[in-house]
Structure formats: C-alpha cells, structure tokens
Structure 1
Amino acid sequence: MARVVMQAVVSVDGFIAFPDDTVGPLFDWYFNGDTELTARPSGWTFRVSRTSHDYIQPFWDEIKVTVIGRHLFDTTNGWDGKPAAGDELVVVTHRPLPERWLADHPDAPFHAAGSAEEGIALARELAGDGLVCVTAGDLGGQAFAAGLVDEVAMDVVPVVLGEGVRFFGSHVGTVLLDDPDQVVQGDRVLHLHYTVKR
C-alpha cells in the first residue's frame, strides 16, 4: 500500500510562502551547494550541499505520484505538463483543468479529483506500493486533518517570514507525531521527517 507524505520547505514560524505566493529566501538552499540535485521527470536541477543531496535525492526518486491543489496548478501553469516529482500528478480541483492547457499538454500524466479524499485515493491507486507526496498548505492540511497523511517531511529554513501560507493550511486541532526519525542538517536548511501516530 502506498505511503502518503506531506512535504514542503518551511520557515521556522511555519510558512511555506508569503501571502502573494512568493517564497523569498525559502529556496536559497537549493542553490548554495556544490552537489547537483535533480527532480525527475521535470529535469530541474539544483546545487545543494552533499548532506542535503543525500537526504533529498532518494526521497524525490521514491515519489510515484504528487498531489497538488488547483491554486498551485494555476500558479505554476501545471509545470508545463511535467510533474515536479513522480511519474503522475493529481490536481484536486472543483473546476475542470483549462481546455487550452490540456490541448497544449495532451500527454501530461495529470489527473483531476474533486476533493482531498478523492485525490489521495486516486494517488494511492496510481502509486501502487510507492510513495505519494501531497504538497503542504491548504490541500495538505485538509488531507492531514482527514487522517490521510502517514508522514510529514519539512525542510526548515532559518528564517521568520511573519505571515503567509501556513504549512498545515487552516488545519486546527491536535495530531501527535512520533519523534523525528530523520534529522539532517544541511547548509541553511534542516531536514526533518516524522511519522503520524496512529
């Protein structure tokens, strides 16, 4: 059965972007090292510390399906039809994907779902026994609140944004996590991984 991990780069005060969706210094660590990190199948390359590479590359390579919300799809123009990580991508949306975008990207391995629950179920089916990555923010918070997330991965950057898009969206309530099973110090980033207590 597929595992579902909620993941994002996050500030110390819990934000994954400013209110206007820009990330400011949150992604600086992607470009401050001497070891190449590659996102597949998008082919994006970054230069990070060896320590960050050795943590992130296997994680990215294990992702079979990514689940995103419509807002991120619109903000990134659906990454031009190539998932940032994984073989397939599920977009949780209440509106059909734009016809023009679909015409421009007829072979894009993208699927639509009407709710976080439907999106995670579809992603699990597509992933088989692989890894499903759901993006943090409102969609991730909905999946987390519904008990659909098995693991939480945070790349914590030493910056305080003060406002913006929260890692867990508008999720309220208490959920216990196990102690972190991975704590990896990179250059200007701390990689943390938790399992959700069941």
Structure 2
Amino acid sequence: MGTVIMHSVASVDGFIADANDDVGPLHEWYFNGDVPLTEAGDEEYDHSGSGSAIKVSRASAEYVRPMWESIGAIVMGRHLFDLVNGWEGRPPAGDHVVVVSHRPKPEGWHPEASYHFVDDVTAAIGKAQELAGDRVVSVNAGEVGGQILAAGLVDEVAMDVVPVVFGSGKRYFGSITGQHLLEEPDVVVQGDRVLHLKYKVRR
C-alpha cells in the first residue's frame, strides 16, 4: 500500500482557513513564481476560479511537482467537497477521490469522475489505498484529517506554512485531542512566502 500523507497549506499558527472558510493569503504562493507545476502547463491545476495560472518559485516547484505526481487518491471531508464542488470532478492531483460523508454523492454529479463517498474514516483510507495501489494517498487537513491521524492511519504530515497569523479559524488538525508525536522534519524547503515541511508520524 502507498504512504498516507496528511497535507495542506497552513498559517504559522496552524489554521487552514478563517472561521468563514476564507483562505486569505494562504494560497498566494501558488501564483507568485514563474515555474508551472506540470510539464504540460499550469492551467489544469487552476481550481481557484481566478483565471490565474498556477506558477510557483523554482524551489516550491521542485518540491510540490513530484509530490503531486505521486498521488493516486485524495481523501477529503464533505465540507470541503461542498465548498469547492469537488473541484468539478477534476482533483488537483491523483485520479481518485474518497469523500468522508454521511450523505451520498449528489445525484447526477459528474458521473464520469472517480469519486467515492463513505461514512467512516477507516473505510475511507481503505478505499483510497485500494484505488491508489502503490501510489500516495493524500489526506486533506482539517476535521477529517485530524480524525484519520487520531485513528493512527497517517504515515506522514506535510505542511506548507505561510508567514501569516490568523488567530482563529479552521485548524490544520481539526479538533483532535491528545498528544501525537512526529519525527524530526525530513523535508525542509524554503519557497517564496512559504516553507514546505514534512514529518513522519512516530509509531
């Protein structure tokens, strides 16, 4: 089975959005460079709705590009799915998406897309690993990501830390409780207005 990596952009104080789900400046580094994230071009990854093409610094591209290319499946919560309408059936990375939700997929919603709705985080990781094979399973941070970490199902934690303090909002680890130890960061990459960090979860 592939590695399960919990991954999102976060503020220095550990928030992935404010209380109204506004990401503010957290994603600005996706547009402040001159290197596209794919060899084919950058428009396919533009899910911002801004019409801007995603281009990052060279340091960020060298880190993010192979990470995104390694992803086979994404696990996300229903709240994020509803916010972005499931990226209109075109996830930013990987071929499959598993949505943790007690509600089924909206009727008639992009039937061609490989999106699977399950109501349990353990089942979600199992389904995602089945779909991804040997490739990475990427877990979006937030409430669902925190639940998956608490269940002992996350192998690595990756954070793209942006130099801004939110003070309050949606936490990277959701409402997780208890102590969870990580190893020393095995990846530290300084981009332009972002610091890429990756930690293995201590077993």
Q: TM-score range by the shorter chain?
A: over 0.9
Alignment check: 8 A CA contact 1:151 1:193 kept: yes
Match of 1:114 among 110, 113, 119: 119
Match in the other structure for 1:132: 137
Partner of 1:81 in structure 2? 89
Gaps of 5+ in 1: none
Q: 1:47/1:169 Cα in 2 relative to 1: closer, same or farther (>3 Å)?
A: same
Paired residues of 1:69 and 1:92 also in contact (CA < 8 A): yes
**Structure 2 matches for 1:10-29, cutoff 5 A?**
10-29=10-29
CA distance in 2, matches of 1:129, 1:148: 16
Could you say which residue in structure 2 is the equivalent of 1:171? 176
Tell me what 1:144 maps to. Answer: 149
Aligned counterparts of 1:19 and 1:37: Cα–Cα separation in 2: 29
Q: Which consecutive segments of 4 or more residues in structure 1 shift more than 4 A? A: none
Q: Report the residue type matching 1:60 in the other structure.
A: W
CA deviations 1:102-154 (Å, max 9, x no partner) are xxx11011111111111011001111111000000000000000000000000
* Deviations 1:57-77 (CA, angstroms, capped at 9, x unpaired): 000000000000100110011
Measure, in 2, the Cα distance between the counterparts of 1:128 and 1:34.
Answer: 33
Conservation of the 8 A alpha-carbon contact between 1:8 and 1:167: yes
Task: Rate the CA distance shift 1:122–1:130 in 2: closer, same or farther, 3 A.
Answer: same
- TM-score w.r.t. structure 1 length? 0.95
Q: Give the paired residue count.
A: 195
Task: Tell me the distance in 1 between the aligned counterparts of 2:133 and 2:37.
Answer: 26
Aligned equivalents of 2:186 and 2:64: distance in 1? 15
Q: Say if 1:2 and 1:81 are closer, same or farther in 2 by CA, change over 3 A.
A: same
User: 1:185 aligned to 2:186?
Assistant: no
Work out the CA distance in 1 between the residues paired with 2:88 and 2:39: 14
- With normalisation by structure 2, the TM-score equals 0.93
1:70 and 2:78 equivalent?
yes
Shift of 1:39: 10
Which residue is 1:99 aligned to? Answer: 107
Matching residue of 1:43: 44
Question: Letter of the aligned partner of 1:13 in structure 2?
Answer: D
CA deviation profile, 1:14-40 (whole Å, cap 9, x unmatched): 000011111000011111111112499
- Give the distance between the partners of 1:106 and 1:62, measured in 2 at CA: 25
Change (3 A) 1:170 1:93: same
Give the letter for the 2:17 counterpart.
Answer: A
Contact kept, 8 Å, 1:39 with 1:85, in 2: the verdict is no
